[in-house]
A and B are shown apart, each in its own frame.
Chain A
Amino acid sequence: MSDIADGFVKAAQLAVSLDPELIEITLRSLYVTLSATAIASVIGLPMGAWLAVTRFPARRYVIALLNALMGLPPVVVGLIVYILLSRSGPFGVLGLLFTPTAMVIAQVIIITPLVASIAHQAMRELWADYHDLLISLHASRWQRIVTLVWDGRRTLMTAQLAGFGRGIGEVGAIMIVGGNIDNATRVLTTAISLETGRGEFALALALGFILIALAILVNLSIHILSRTEQGSRW
């Protein structure tokens, strides 16, 4: 138990002293996961909307597959991306292994199904509402998707925040494809893993608390910026 208390104290110390290593890995964590979330959104949000408004024979199976992919084990994704990006692999010439780019790629693969699934659910409900109206107005498929995505943007934001949450706490994939290289690919989660392996539990916990605080901060900023969840009464 004293480790947890020590962890809190250490977290406060690190944060207040603006420890340069801490700042470096924190910024890198944000960079990797925010990039991955942005890319995953560009792919997943329209995909979710498209799935909601399009009828085709294999639709049920595609949706089931998408939902199942939410449970992709990150370490497996990491392994596959590693094999693809390895010098002896198909994309080795790009030299992306052990760079933040490889980490972004792995996280995009992990985050996109989550974003697309939640987006699909949100868009499905909105489409049920708008269905008669948009069909009556003869909106094209593209117009329907744009309208749903725009009007449903607040719910889609939840999808993005869910994706961000999954990514910021992920360690399996980025450990393999990033290598946790000091000053190059080390982020908060891999640093926590490292310190745990060193038996430095207080420091590992401190980094963990900072990670949690970071996630809270990001979520709060998004809500403030988009003026959602205001007002203390219904």
Chain B
Amino acid sequence: MKRLILSLWFCGLACAAQADSLRIAVTTSFENSGLADVLLPALAQDTGITAELVVVGTGQALRLGEAGDVDAVLAHARAGEEALIAAGHATHRREIMYNDFVIIGPSDDPAGVAQAVDAASAFRAVAEAQAAFVSRGDDSGTHARELSLWDQAEIVPDQTWYRSVGAGMGAALNTASAMPAYILSDRATWAAFGNKGDLALLFEGDPALFNQYAFLPINAEQHPHVRADLSAQVEDWLTSPRAAALIDGFQIDGMQMFIFNATPTD
């Protein structure tokens, strides 16, 4: 009896490696939206591939790709992605879909963000009102976009009202909700967020808030153990009409969250 239990124990320990599973590092903004819960079952059904999502911040996702600890990366930070390709860790980037960032803030909008003409002006308004602003502060795609907007507005945020939390999108939103404070978020995470509190969506629509997601297979020449074959299959599926329908059809509160924009391979 003891041996049976022991062998079951060891079986459990060893049962990590599965036949057709692909490990993908995805960013918190993607996971928090809930789109994964729609795509993954369909992917498994159509291709027999189980996607194991390691949900981490953009910086960590790119590091995982660099180390070869995942088979592919799904990110929305173009500069980081291209660096990964340049270093030879990823073979290429394949654009899949986009959504946008939105500016969230206290519903009474003390800085008057809702009246801004563009995103940079909205940020300038926050700085001038010295209203509390929560930053991801974690070198994520969202954080990179936020920093570029401060640049555009020619503002250096001041520590008295600028709160850099170094956390994922959801955690940062929790902090913004509790303060309350302004924060830049991707639309999907905001829509799916369950602790909105007194926050409201105040600004949207500026093309500067465009947010592209791309799929990067990890280079099998640098990291021989990655399942490049499965990555290729997943990439094909993600850019297929089936995925397009699922992505475009994904809604939260009756609103479309992502727009499929993959181009067929030539």
B29 → A minimal CB distance (Å): 11
In whole angstroms, how far apart are the Cα atoms of A86 and B70 in the complex? 10
Q: Which residue of A lies closest to B33 (CB)?
A: A198
Q: Does residue A13 face the partner (Cβ distance < 8 Å to B)?
A: no
Quote the shortest CB–CB distance from A115 to chain B (angstroms): 19
CB pair A200–B194 under 8 Å, yes or no, is yes
A98 at the A/B interface (Cβ < 8 Å)? Answer: yes
A196 touches B67 (CB 8 A): no
Known: A35-B13, A196-B170, A197-B171. A98 touches B52 (CB 8 A): yes
- Known contacts A97-B69, A101-B13, A199-B195; A182/B53 CB under 8 A: yes
Asked whether any CB of chain B lies closer than 8 Å to the CB of A31, the reply is yes
Chain A residues within 8 Å of B14, by CB: 101
Interface residues of A in 156-173 (CB under 8 A from B): none
A35-B9, A87-B225 known; A198 vs B53 contact (CB < 8 Å): no
Establish whether residues A95 and B52, one from each chain, have CB atoms under 8 Å apart when the complex forms: no
Shortest beta-carbon distance from A7 to chain B in Å: 13
Total residues of chain A contacting the partner, CB 8 A: 28
Q: A136 on the interface (CB 8 Å rule)? A: no
Q: Is the CB of A87 within 8 A of B28?
A: no
Q: Mark B66-90, 1 if CB is under 8 A from A, else 0.
A: 1111000000000000000000000
User: Once the chains are docked, how many angstroms separate the CA of A179 from the CA of B51?
Assistant: 13
Chain B: number of interface residues, binned into ranges: 20 to 34
> How close is A176's CB to chain B, nearest CB, in angstroms?
9
> Contact check: which of B28, B192, B195 meets A201 at CB < 8 Å?
B195
State which of A31, A87, A88, A197 has its C-beta within 8 Å of the C-beta of B174.
A197
Asked if A104 contacts B13 (CB within 8 A), the reply is yes
Report the separation of the CA atoms of residues A86 and B67 in the bound assembly, to the nearest whole angstrom.
7
The verdict on A184 contacting chain B, using a C-beta distance below 8 Å, is yes
Per-residue CB proximity of A81-99 to B under 8 Å, as 1/0?
A: 0000011110010011111
Q: For chain B residues 7-54, which have a beta carbon within 8 Å of chain A?
A: 9, 12-14, 16-17, 23, 28, 32, 40, 50, 52-54
3 nearest CB pairs, A to B: A199-B195, A197-B170, A99-B16
A-B contact pairs, 5 of them (CB 8 A): A86-B67, A88-B69, A183-B52, A197-B171, A199-B196
Query: Interface residues, chain A, CB within 8 Å of chain B?
Result: 31, 35, 86-89, 92, 95-101, 104, 179-184, 194, 196-201
A-B contacts besides A87-B225, A197-B28, A197-B170, 17 pairs, CB < 8 Å? A31-B12, A35-B13, A86-B67, A86-B68, A95-B16, A95-B17, A95-B225, A99-B17, A179-B52, A180-B55, A181-B23, A182-B53, A183-B50, A198-B193, A198-B194, A199-B193, A199-B195
